[in-house]
Structure 1
Amino acid sequence: MADILSGRDMAYSEAASGSLSLSRGERIGWWVAACLASTLMTGLQITATAPFKLASFERLIQFQANEPFQCRVLVPALAAGLQHLAPLGTTLIFAAIEWLFWLLLIVVAHRALVSCHIGCSELARRMLALTILVPMGVQLLVPDLHIKSGAGWVDGLLELGQWRIWPLFYYPYDLPAAVFTLGLVLLLLRLRRAPSRRDLAVFALIFVLATLNRETTIFLLPCMVLLLWRQWPPGRVVQLLISLVVLFLAIELPLYWLFGDLPNPNRRIMATQYETHLLENLGFFTSPFYTAWFLTRFAGGLALIVLFWWRWVGGPLRLVLIGYALPLFLFGLWVGRLPEHRIFAEIVPLVWLSALYAIHARLEPSNAIRG
């Protein structure tokens, strides 16, 4: 399989690319489908979830939300700018921004499939790109299942226990974080194969936007070292790492200085604004029903494919999952509430891409890149 992950270039045959290329009408149709799908996901996002009271639309757009929500300024700043330019309501503005990022998610997903050469044709890749909406929708929209009791005996009959749904909160930075993460990982894979100043500049720009959106970009730095260490001279990797750390601090420190007077009332971890929910989260897994629910729900069930077909996941993607997804998952278990599956939003596109890569490699074992 010709793959950006393998570090090798292999051109498609002219016959295959020519006979399977898209017509103009098919391209327009795909964009229409992507826009309609984005509208559907936005409608579900706005109506099926609700903002947390400490990070309501009004508080965000007025920069009065509590930390750490307030330090995630990209979307609130964009929303405030749009409201200043036009007489638009806050819900409409946030919905419009959400729609844009759902569309961008599909576009970046398509570029990921092209880069990894997943799919037998351009049409197949465009159709597969739409499937990323399923795991993201499951992660961000579908309510969690609260199981107070699994099953019990009632009047001599075995009955289902007390189960109820737990609606998710909506934060405007979740979906953008996923889009930015997938784009940054793709750029790292390109830099791993062929370093260029242009890709470095684009990476730095997106890194800035992603950090303004959410501080979890710090987890990309060890992942970057794992991906580039054997491909670049070690000194150059260290230089890039130091530059990105300085860039990260140059963004985050002023934000915390500007909004330090709005602390999180639920903070528990030392002098930070983060909460801790580790024991509470681990307690959920004492229920076999919830464990089964969580495993089959995570990334729309694609995490199970990655686990079962781990040997078919490309080597660099393994590094991404080990160096970025796993640490971020553990951090989410510590500081986030497990019923809010949105805390793992950045991981979902990477699991989706890894699962499709594993499926493609499993179906074409002679071309699989296992290293």
Structure 2
Amino acid sequence: MHDSIGDRACYRVPGASRFDRREHAAWWVATFLISLLLTGLQFTTTAPFKLAGFELMAHFNATEPFQCRVLVPAIVAGVQYLVPLGPKIVFGAVELVFWMALIALAYRALERFGIARNELIRRLLALTVVVPMVAHLLMPDLHVASGFSAADGVLDLGVWRAWPLFYYPYDLPAAVFTLALCLLLMRLRKSPSRGVLLVFVVLFTIATANRETTIFLLPTTALLLWGRLPTTQLLALGVVLLAVFLAVELPLYWLFSDMQNPNRRIASTQYESHLLSNLGFFRSPFYAAWFVTRFAGGLALVALFWWRFVDRRLKIVLITFALPLFCFAMWVGRLPEHRIFSEMVPLIWLAAMGAIAARAGCRERPDLRGDTDGV
């Protein structure tokens, strides 16, 4: 029995869809232009937090835990060492590359899960992954100081405000790395190999240097690969991933231990505690409605409504990775900064796209399309 809903599928006719070189080039041009636009919007509608500004991050002087997410600042510092460029332009170039990578991986994800009837539709659907990401990284947060006001017997809207979001260089890369790691897990689940395992461990290491939320992928890895790898090999992989995580995080924690976060509240860590204040936002029915429809661009509602059509592998990812990460983000992150949920957004998008395709009968059968193709 296949993991995906093959019995409900509308099967692809071989050769029915061809994506020629001109269309392929046009898609990459569109990917570049969309990424350029989003990068421009990101650097004009958001601003870095004062404790993690461009100069501070690039010179490794930001406070913890921001500076511990060292991958992108290290890239920027390396480029600046070689080329006389300011930090903003280098951060912007990195952001542009990751927007393009997100779209490219979204296409690979649609291909891996057999979503869409043909190549053209699949390429166009891949571009839509930016919509929920924009909702989390670019759209200002909406606050209602007072829902309505009444003066001289006239009812009107009260005080509604839009607050710009903060920019952090590791938010978008975290989403890209998470999607890439999940695709590699799907590849390992289908056909385990030492080469793919090595790539997975290397990418996990790089992703951990970007943000520590990779720790939430450990139970997901165990469940997805259970029965697909020998038990001893699976245990060894878990030990290696945990060792890699500690080997990356502990030195960073020690290196930046003197850069204390003045807002820390959780034991001896550098994390802040915002759970009660976050829950307080939902006292406003307007804010609750905005949050629900904004979360993953509203696609979380699609995935929940058509949960029975969501691919079983993605259900495992959402339950074991996205849900614990959501709870953790609600505890240590500020709800108005929707970027705290960025890692799970592409996964929810993929689950929603798959559910829509399965419900409409437009998902391919894995055995007809070669599920062992490279990620």
Are 1:66 and 1:262, in contact at CA under 8 Å, matched by a contact in 2?
Answer: yes
Equivalent AA in structure 1 for residue 333 of structure 2: G
Query: RCO greater where, 1 or 2, for CA within 8 Å and sep 6 or more?
Result: 2
Q: Partner residue of 1:311?
A: 308
Structure 2: 5+ residue runs without aligned partners?
367-375
Q: Which runs of 5+ in 1 are unaligned?
A: none
Q: CA, structure 1 residues 48+17, in 2 after alignment: closer, same or farther (shift >3 Å)? A: farther
Cα distance change, pair 356–15 in 1 and its aligned pair in 2 (3 A):
closer
* DSSP-derived class of the 2:179 partner: helix
| Cα RMSD for the two superposed structures | 2.2
1:135 alignment counterpart:
132
Counterparts of 1:1-371 in structure 2, within 5 Å, are: 6=3, 16-364=13-361
Task: Please give the alpha-carbon distance, in whole angstroms, between the structure 1 residues aligned to 2:314 and 2:150.
Answer: 47
Deviations 1:152-180 (CA, angstroms, capped at 9, x unpaired)? 43322222121100110000000000000
Quickly say closer, same or farther: Cα 1:156–1:5, change in 2 above 3 A.
farther
Amino acid at match of 2:56: R
CA contact (8 A) 2:117 2:363 kept: no
In the alignment, the residues of structure 1 paired with residue 57 and residue 250 of structure 2 have an alpha-carbon distance, to the nearest angstrom, of 19
> Cα–Cα, structure 1 residues 96 and 5, in superposed 2: closer, same or farther, change >3 Å?
farther
TM-superposed CA distance for 1:194, in Å, is 1.5
Kindly provide the amino acid, as one letter, of the partner of residue 192 in structure 2: P
TM-score normalised to structure 2 length: 0.93
TM-score for the superposition, normalised by structure 1: 0.94
> Structure 1 residue 13: deviation in Å?
12
Task: Report if aligned partners of 1:178, 1:346 keep a CA contact under 8 Å in 2.
Answer: yes
- DSSP 3-state at the match of 1:81: helix
2:142 is paired with a residue whose SS is strand
SS of equivalent to 1:18: coil
What letter is aligned with 1:151?
F
Distance of aligned partners of 1:66 and 1:364 in 2 relative to their CA distance in 1, 3 Å threshold: same
Structure 1, residues 247-275: CA drift from partner, whole Å, max 9, x if none?
11011111111111101110000010000
Give the secondary structure class of the aligned counterpart of 2:146: coil
% of aligned pairs identical? 59
Which 4+ stretches in 1 moved above 4 angstroms? 7-10, 12-15, 365-369
